[in-house]
Structure 1
Amino acid sequence: MAIKHPFLHAAACSVAVLAALPMPAFGQQTPSPQDAAARYQALAAEERTKAGDPAFDYALGTAASDAGRYGEAIVAFQRVLARQPANAPARAELARAYALAGDIDTARAQFSTVVDDPTIPDPVRQRFTGFVRQFDKQIKGGGSDLSGFGEAAFGHDSNINSATQLTSITIPLFAALGPGSLGAGARAQKDEFYDLSAGISAVSATSRQDRVFGSLLGNWRDNLDSAAFDQSSLTGTAGFAHTFANRDVVSLSGQVQKYWVGHRGFRTAFGGIAQYTHLLPGGKALSASVQFNRFDYDRDALRDADRFAVGIGYSARNYAVNLIGGHEETRRQAGDAESNTFAGANMGAEFQVAPKVALVAGAAFDLRRYDRADLLFMRKRHDERLDLTAAVKVAVLPRLFIQPKATWSRNWSNIALYDHERWTVQAGARFEF
């Protein structure tokens, strides 16, 4: 996902449209970077002898803007306006240079002056008025935005309860009795399922650099023959973000989640996340986060725990990589066999292979080391888990996608009861707005 500064990106889009306006100041097609640089260098070589000539300064200014030398462009257009204050094309180009340089306040003021010029044709004036409104919105912080999605899928799951394939197991504490048979709920079960998900997100600017945001995400997964392992969840998030002058972003958010298994409450979680994001050239970003979560289990108080984690991430236009590590500590000493230290890594990527087709892939690895020996198995539990995902995303309408997907999971554990394998295949449709 590309990450861009919202103000500069919007300003650049505005002036890109402005560059195509049918008037002398914007009538020419934008040259290539190489041509723009060559034209600027040729004119700059004559600046010492020709500076002060409005026609030359106007040509120099437009060449400098096209070449990305906005400071030089601003100086050249200011010289034109010093001689010809009523030169509306030069003032519009000056506003364009300011906007491309990121100074939308001055760009807005210059465009306002052009709007009031009676020599500007009405169609062009209306476009300039639209740019002024856009800049006003950016100056106030960008306004508000609402987005969301709905998704439905049907598929097959080889292990709906993430359980072992074994039918019997020897428990060291009762080894003298020999292997014990596992009940149906403790053995891997396969089934077909349908899955429904929906989410909505909102963000609103409170000032130029500050935002408040919130989201609500719901999921329902129904197994056709095994209601005991149906799952559903509801997650709400709300937070605040601040953008610094260097475009870095810091955000603070709180989150609450309720999770159900077999149509009964299973766990409630709530916590907070602090994150700092540093933007890099080319739509890339680095981030660091600190998280805290509290888990309350509805029917197993010994598993109630506090979880602390730190993470770092790197994202580019087509992929993202994240690393996380931390500790989960049960709040009751009697449940300390569930306390664990963990570390993980995950990566996701999406690549366009045709105008309406993209390949999606993901991989995640999780390692856990538990603090105390399991009471039944008389050893500390060690787990490593690998998850792989592959999908094809096909756009059938601008906001509607069909997505067949396959996943494979493998959990290796030194305690046989927790050692398992799982794969799923599904096909679904996703609508985004």
Structure 2
Amino acid sequence: MSLKQGADVGRDWVIGVAMGVACALPGKAQAEVDNLVKQALTLEAQGRMAQAYALLAPVVDARAGDPDFDYALGIAAADSGRPGDAIAAFQRVLAVWPDHAQARAEIARLYAQAGDVDTARAEFATVIQDPTLPDPVRQRVGGLIRDYDRAIRGGGNQLSGFIDADVGYDGNVNSATNLTSITLPVFAFLGPATLGGTASRMSDGFHQVQAGASGSMAAGRQDRLFASALGSWRDTWSSDAFDQAAVTATAGGAHTTATGDVVAVSGQAQRFWLGRRGFRTGIGVIGQYTARLRRDRAVSTQLQYFRFDYDGDPSRDAHRYAATLTYSDRTALLSIGGGREATIRDGARNLGYWFGAVQGGSEVPLARAVAIIAGAGIEHRDYDATDPLFLAGRRDTQIDATIGLRLTVRNGIAVRPRATVTRNFSNLSLYDYSRVTGSVGLTFAF
């Protein structure tokens, strides 16, 4: 459990705890409370915390030290966004009335909201020692203390995963041009060259399976170790040449700062097969910093380096460097990034390129069990050297768009129809193509 999660849990629990304590413990008779405090308590019971605070704040200097006044002021300040004033008021209550369980539970809530797990835990430990607490309330406080103990130790182990199976149709399974012939400047004297076989556009049906699992464990109070594995297999129905498979393994560590930001470093290994034969191996390192914002929003920066080695074609071996800036919230994601893939051998510089990309996506609920999923991205690639066939520098701009639905059948199981459109614009005709894919899948997540 993270510090932020601990704070959130603390707020949920303490509301129930404070209510239970307030009902269970004896207090002063209403007649002994003056009219000003009575009026403030009435406003608070109506949820009008800002008005209650405005009523009490002007007389703090004269009334501070009166536990009834300070408790009412603390409640109003806590629930109107003034945690500093609330803590000071509750501390004055406890100075006069140390066994005031309501005030101690409220001050624990404020420390929990601020992410101070140690102080919140200590305050709740004092509350639970009150012999007048009813058993149900005592059990709830005890459960909260155990939650904080886990948070202080860094949280428990976590494991999640998914299995996704799809069947669909790909209108350009080999990402080839729609042209039937092209003229290569190097062989212009021979006239146009006819494209055939795998050099021309091919359509085919496919089925594919993807599966992944990830887990993490505490390595300290604010540190965690994590690892994941992801595998996929795509089988085209008419030709083994375009079958694809991939395996990716990742392992690393993450540190959560006092403000809830996360710094993570991981290593990753990739293996890719094409046409049922080994195609490429990638080994790399990824560093990421995620800054948590209010209302479940976050901004993260990522740097990565990979070394790619191509089976049987060492001229394509390359170093890849990339940087990405990403914003995300509950339903949307937007990222912008760029980098360079540089071939290792000088004679193959035409295969290396600079790139820049922007992409975004969103999942918007339409009903209780239905959500629409949409995404789009654009990437521009500018290649390093003249293409030897076309005697020109290559420049590509690729646009991708996806739209689909998530139809939840039951918890963890969903049906997912979707369609994807790709358009790659290239100044070299051989690499200019369009592609449309449609599929229906079933996802199981745990």
Whole-angstrom CA distance in 1 between matches of 2:287 and 2:153 = 25
Q: 2:275 aligned with 1:278, yes or no? A: no
Matches within 5 A, 1:59-138: 59-138=72-151
Pairwise CA RMSD of aligned residues? 2.2
SS in 1 for 2:95: helix
Whole-angstrom CA distance in 2 between matches of 1:26 and 1:417 = 78
Q: 2:36 aligned with 1:23, yes or no? A: no
Q: 2:324 aligned with 1:311, yes or no? A: yes
SS in 2 for 1:282: coil
Q: 2:376 aligned with 1:379, yes or no? A: no
TM-score normalised to the size of structure 2?
0.91
Whole-angstrom CA distance in 2 between matches of 1:309 and 1:50 = 61
Whether contact under 8 Å (1:30, 1:66) holds in the other structure is no
Q: 2:140 aligned with 1:143, yes or no? A: no
Whole-angstrom CA distance in 1 between matches of 2:141 and 2:251 = 37
Q: Which amino acid aligns with 2:9?
A: C
Whole-angstrom CA distance in 2 between matches of 1:382 and 1:185 = 22
Structure 1 match to 2:225: 212
Structure 2 match to 1:13: 9
Q: Which amino acid aligns with 1:430?
A: T
Q: Encode CA deviations 1:197-227: one digit per residue, 9 max, x unaligned.
A: 1111112222222222221111111111111
SS in 1 for 2:306: strand
**Where does structure 2 lack aligned partners over 5 or more consecutive residues?**
25-40
Q: Report the more deviating stretch, 23-32 or 211-220.
A: 23-32
Instruction: Give the % identical residues.
Output: 47
Structure 1 match to 2:71: 58
Whether contact under 8 Å (2:353, 2:383) holds in the other structure is yes
Q: Which amino acid aligns with 2:236?
A: N
Moved >3 Å (runs of 4+): 26-34
Whether contact under 8 Å (2:14, 2:106) holds in the other structure is no
Whether contact under 8 Å (1:306, 1:328) holds in the other structure is yes
| 1:352/1:367 CA distance change after superposition, 3 Å | same
Match of 1:244 among 253, 257, 262: 257
Whole-angstrom CA distance in 2 between matches of 1:254 and 1:416 = 38
Match of 1:266 among 279, 284, 290: 279
Offset of residue 421 of structure 1: 0.7
Structure 1 match to 2:269: 256
Whole-angstrom CA distance in 2 between matches of 1:92 and 1:30 = 21
Offset of residue 24 of structure 1: 4.5
Whole-angstrom CA distance in 2 between matches of 1:46 and 1:231 = 74
Offset of residue 235 of structure 1: 0.6
Matches within 5 A, 1:184-199: 184-199=197-212
Q: Which amino acid aligns with 2:369?
A: K
Whether contact under 8 Å (2:333, 2:360) holds in the other structure is yes
Q: 2:426 aligned with 1:413, yes or no? A: yes
Q: Which amino acid aligns with 2:223?
A: D
Q: Encode CA deviations 1:84-121: one digit per residue, 9 max, x unaligned.
A: 22232332222222212322111101111222222111
Q: Encode CA deviations 1:370-409: one digit per residue, 9 max, x unaligned.
A: 1111222222211111101001111111211111100000
Offset of residue 50 of structure 1: 2.6
Match of 2:405 among 377, 385, 392: 392
Structure 2 match to 1:234: 247
Q: Report the more deviating stretch, 420-429 or 237-246.
A: 237-246
Q: Report the more deviating stretch, 164-173 or 413-422.
A: 164-173
Q: Report the more deviating stretch, 33-42 or 129-138.
A: 33-42
**Where does structure 1 lack aligned partners over 5 or more consecutive residues?**
none
Q: Which amino acid aligns with 2:154?
A: G
Q: 2:172 aligned with 1:159, yes or no? A: yes
Whether contact under 8 Å (2:261, 2:291) holds in the other structure is yes
Q: Which amino acid aligns with 1:14?
A: G
How many residues matched? 429
Offset of residue 165 of structure 1: 1.6
Whether contact under 8 Å (1:19, 1:30) holds in the other structure is no
Offset of residue 29 of structure 1: 12
Q: 2:51 aligned with 1:38, yes or no? A: yes
Q: Which amino acid aligns with 1:172?
A: P
Offset of residue 32 of structure 1: 9.7
Q: Which amino acid aligns with 1:230?
A: D
SS in 2 for 1:163: coil
Q: Which amino acid aligns with 1:25?
A: A
Whole-angstrom CA distance in 1 between matches of 2:193 and 2:114 = 73
Whole-angstrom CA distance in 2 between matches of 1:74 and 1:158 = 64
Q: Which amino acid aligns with 1:104?
A: V
Q: Which amino acid aligns with 2:198?
A: G
Whole-angstrom CA distance in 1 between matches of 2:94 and 2:185 = 90
